[in-house]
Amino acid sequence: MIPASTALPKGNILIVDDVPDNLTFLHKMLSSQGYKVRSALTGRLAIQSVLTKPPDLILLDILMPDMDGYEVCQQLKAGEETCHIPIIFVSALSETIDKVKAFSIGGNDYLTKPLQVQEAIARIEHQLNLKRLQQQLIDRNQQLEQEIGARQQAEEALQLAMREVTDIKFALDQSAIVAITDAQGRITYANDQFCAISKYSRQELLGQTHSIVNSSYHPQEFFQQMWQVISMGQVWKGEIRNRAKDGTFYWVDTVIVPLLGTDGTPHQYVSIRHDISDRNRATLDKIRATLATWHLTKAEEQVRLLQSVVVNANDAVVITEAQPLDMPGPRIIYVNEAFTRMTGYQLEDVVGKTPRILQGEKTNAVTRAQIRAALESWQPVRAELLNYRKDGTEFWVDLNITPLTDDIGWVTHWIAVQRDICERKEAELSLQRQAQIIDQVHDSVIVADLKENIISWNKGAEKRFGYQPQQILGQPLAQLCASEEHGFVQEQIFRPLLEKGEHEIEVQMLTKAQEGFPAHLSLSVLKDNEGKVVGLVSYCIDISDRKRAEAEILNTLEKERELNDLKTRFVSMVSHEYRTPLATILSSLELLEYYGHRSTESEKQENYQQIRLAIQRMTDLLNDVLTLNKSEAGKLTFNPAPLDLGQFCQDLVNELQRNIKTEHQIFLSVQDQCPQAQMDEKLLRHILSNLISNAVKYSPQRGTINFEVRYRDHRAIFYVQDQGIGIPTEALQNLFQPFYRANNVGNIAGTGLGLSIVKRLVDTHGGSINVESQVGSGTTFIVTLPLTAEDGPVLPENNQTE
Ligand code: ADP
């Protein structure tokens, strides 16, 4: 058995056999191989079936009753529609003669019954493949035939088109001026007509752009607009005035056609032109004639009016032709009398010449170029120009040039109106010079308008305030003033200035870096040409140095005053403090001298003692003055040495308690475990004994004095507290000034030197002294000293008595 196939039908096969069993067998065999099979029992039925629907292959039995296989084959091979269907004979006839016959009448193959299934299928497959290939060949042939046909048609069309193009080109060349340019506008083709009208040879034209025939007649925008159109691939049409090689002009009606490349952008431009010079001339003449008649009456009147204006004008009027803008320049056809007055040239001197005769060496080339550019594009232009008179002297003019067009808008002339601006230029120059001078000034010059905005300033101001002109001009003047007072500039600067016409004021100014400085402002009003006040001018001098010097002088004066005060107080105190013991000494000596012989020994001793005490008082005072002097001169010596503070304080209190003649009690309290101290014993003794003595002196009889010693943070703190008269608040700040005494001391003796010396000794020790006091309740002095010099100085507390 042959394995069944499930694939789609591989071909359409007709089996022709008169034996139904054969048909059935073949049908099964082929169907199982995926072929679509139909059957015919007779030759006639087979031919009918083929004609109805041609199969891809026919398996044909030879021996059949009414029409044998040979005949069927012959008929099919004779038919146009059926001749290409492959026929395989299937027959029991196995003679070579049979096979030869089968092949000779067009059979494609021959299978002998009984069939070898594999062989039969292979041959069927082979025939079908052959047929497919044949079909493909036929299809391809047909396609090729079609293509060849199409190409032939295209070639014919192309040839036709070429012929047409050549004809058109020929026609164009005969009738028009033709040029072809590349994308950059360089001429790559110029026909004879182009050469003829432009009077350039073809060699001269090729490679050039059309500017070779540019007549400078059309403004630049005209050509810019043209390029815009054609470079976008669109056709441009217009009329152009060109200039031939010999300088003559011709008008051409122009069509420019861009030829697009495969990328869609223009690769070439074809220009087709027609000479319309005559036509234009004729049209123009016609238009002019019409317009002329139409406007005649009105125009004549206007012309008369205008003429009288021009003739009598104060400004010079020059009328020139429109061309040529190149050398020698447009010719003058008219100048008025003002021109003669201004330049010294008479009308006959200048007619036919160019206005360029007025220009000379110093005439600004840039301005001239600007004027030229404007004229080239038919634009009116205004400029200031340096001109030369006939006698060679210079003068400045404000020049206004206007194009004069004819009725259809073509520029035919230029009218130049010149105003003599020498005076203004002179004024400008003088202003410039003044501005230069002002810029040289070291101080600031600031100009502000009435809206209080800065409108100008000099280099000095720029330097002092640190702003660039563009940062400050237009800004309010208040920006330069340090005052935050509302309306300061108006109230302090503008109002007094406008009232008095000038004004001076010292104000604090502010730089860009927000640094304030004192300044003296000399202000004057700024007026316009009509004398109207339009702002202010401020001459601003930085007076920082002056202010500093003033402050220094004041300081020195203050010190001198203090010194004088000190001297006065010193003299009065010393004289007083010396007079009292001296008087004591004197009276004791007198007693001894006159009554000594009558006095008892104890009375004498009493007098001697008085003298000793008085001398001691004078010595103490002298010592105090010397100590103070030493400290002022920075000559106090500081000799720290290890010191047992507890013991030292105890000894000091004992000594003082012994020496005081009153009934005051001194109580000492020392914190336990005193750390090792390094102090100058002499200085410390002086400090503490002075404070304790004062506490005794300014306390009532039998008062108690608390002396306390504490340690904290490497510091020793000494408290000396009494319940005495206290110190008035206003006296606290002067307490350490030499010779200062509070006004509540009454007749308690003293020099006012003690505390000032104490302060200096405390300072020498790197310590600080503070005081807390209440009048009538008592006073506490607090001295803080570093335990050793290594502990660093005591920073002063924020205490007014320090
Ligand atoms: P004086 O020789 O006047 O005592 P000091 O320099 O020692 O000079 O003191 C200056 C002034 O400080 C004193 O005149 C007094 O007014 C005031 N003063 C000092 N110590 C005390 C105190 N413990 N109680 C009240 N006032 C004092």
Q: Is the pLDDT of residue 175 over 50?
A: yes
* Residue 630: partners with Cβ closer than 8 Å, 6 or more residues away: 636
Burial code (b: 16+ CB inside 10 Å, e: under 16) for 39-62 equals bbbbbebbbebbeeebbbbbbbbb
pLDDT value for 308: 64
- The values of phi and psi at residue 715, to 5°, are -125, 145
CA 714 – ligand 1 centroid, Å? 29
Q: Which two tokens stand for residue 256?
A: 């420019």
Rounded Cα distance between 481 and 486, Å, is 12
Q: Which two tokens stand for residue 178?
A: 């033709």
Task: Take atom 4 of ligand 1 and give the residue whose Cα is closest.
Answer: 750
Q: Is the pLDDT of residue 612 over 70?
A: yes
CA distances from 704 to 60, 129, 775 (A): 161, 146, 17
* Residue 723: partners with Cβ closer than 8 Å, 6 or more residues away: 699, 700, 703, 704, 777, 778
Q: Are 403 and 378 within 8 A, CB to CB?
A: yes
Rounded Cα distance between 532 and 725, Å, is 74
Q: Is the pLDDT of residue 1 over 50?
A: no
Q: Which two tokens stand for residue 332?
A: 């003058």
Beta bridge partners of 335: 318
Given pLDDT bands bounded at 50, 70 and 90, which one contains residue 802?
Answer: very low
Averaged pLDDT for residues 735-740: 89
pTM over 0.75: no
Q: Is the pLDDT of residue 708 over 80?
A: yes
The model's pLDDT over 51-91, given as tens digits with 9 standing for 90+, comes to 999 999 999 999 898 899 999 999 999 998 899 899 999 98
**Ligand 1 pocket, 725 CB below 6 A?**
yes
Q: Which two tokens stand for residue 265?
A: 């952008």
The separation between the first and the last C-alpha atoms of the chain, rounded to the nearest angstrom, is 133
CA distances from 224 to 220, 229, 236, 280, 791 (A): 6, 9, 12, 23, 92
Averaged pLDDT for residues 303-326: 76
Given pLDDT bands bounded at 50, 70 and 90, which one contains residue 145?
Answer: confident
Given pLDDT bands bounded at 50, 70 and 90, which one contains residue 541?
Answer: very high
In a mutational test of the pocket of ligand 1, which residue from 755, 759, 779 has the highest number of ligand atoms less than 8 Å from its CB?
A: 755
Atom index in ligand 1 nearest the CA of residue 736 equals 6
- The values of phi and psi at residue 601, to 5°, are -60, -40
**Ligand 1 pocket, 750 CB below 6 A?**
yes
**Ligand 1 pocket, 727 CB below 6 A?**
yes
Angle between helices 601-632 and 754-764 (to 10 degrees): 50
Rounded Cα distance between 782 and 306, Å, is 107
Residue 782, H or E segment: strand 778-786
pLDDT value for 798: 46
Averaged pLDDT for residues 408-414: 79
pLDDT value for 481: 92
**Ligand 1 pocket, 755 CB below 6 A?**
yes
CA 564 – ligand 1 centroid, Å? 22
Region of residue 600 (left: phi > 0; alpha: psi -120 to 50; beta: else): beta
* Residue-wise DSSP of 219-270: -HHHHHHHHHHHHTT--EEEEEEEE-TTS-EEEEEEEEEEEE-TTSSEEEEE
Question: What does the DSSP 8-state code read for residue 355?
Answer: G
**Ligand 1 pocket, 691 CB below 6 A?**
no
H-state helical runs in 329-421 = 337-343, 347-350, 365-376
Q: Are 223 and 245 within 8 A, CB to CB?
A: no
Q: Which two tokens stand for residue 721?
A: 């507290």
Q: Are 523 and 536 within 8 A, CB to CB?
A: yes
In a mutational test of the pocket of ligand 1, which residue from 627, 694, 737 has the highest number of ligand atoms less than 8 Å from its CB?
A: 694
Burial code (b: 16+ CB inside 10 Å, e: under 16) for 592-601 equals beeeeeeeee
Q: Which two tokens stand for residue 529?
A: 């040409």
pLDDT value for 4: 45
Selected residue with higher pLDDT from 799 and 269: 269
pLDDT value for 162: 72
**Ligand 1 pocket, 735 CB below 6 A?**
yes
Averaged pLDDT for residues 710-739: 93
CA 629 – ligand 1 centroid, Å? 20
Task: Take atom 7 of ligand 1 and give the residue whose Cα is closest.
Answer: 754
**Ligand 1 pocket, 722 CB below 6 A?**
yes
CA 755 – ligand 1 centroid, Å? 7
pLDDT value for 801: 41
Q: Which two tokens stand for residue 82?
A: 């059926």
* Residue-wise DSSP of 721-736: E--SS---HHHHTTTT
Averaged pLDDT for residues 222-248: 88
Rounded Cα distance between 229 and 36, Å, is 69
Q: Are 674 and 645 within 8 A, CB to CB?
A: yes
Rounded Cα distance between 415 and 418, Å, is 10
Rounded Cα distance between 560 and 312, Å, is 84
The model's pLDDT over 468-511, given as tens digits with 9 standing for 90+, comes to 989 999 999 999 999 888 889 999 999 999 999 889 999 999 99
**Ligand 1 pocket, 724 CB below 6 A?**
yes
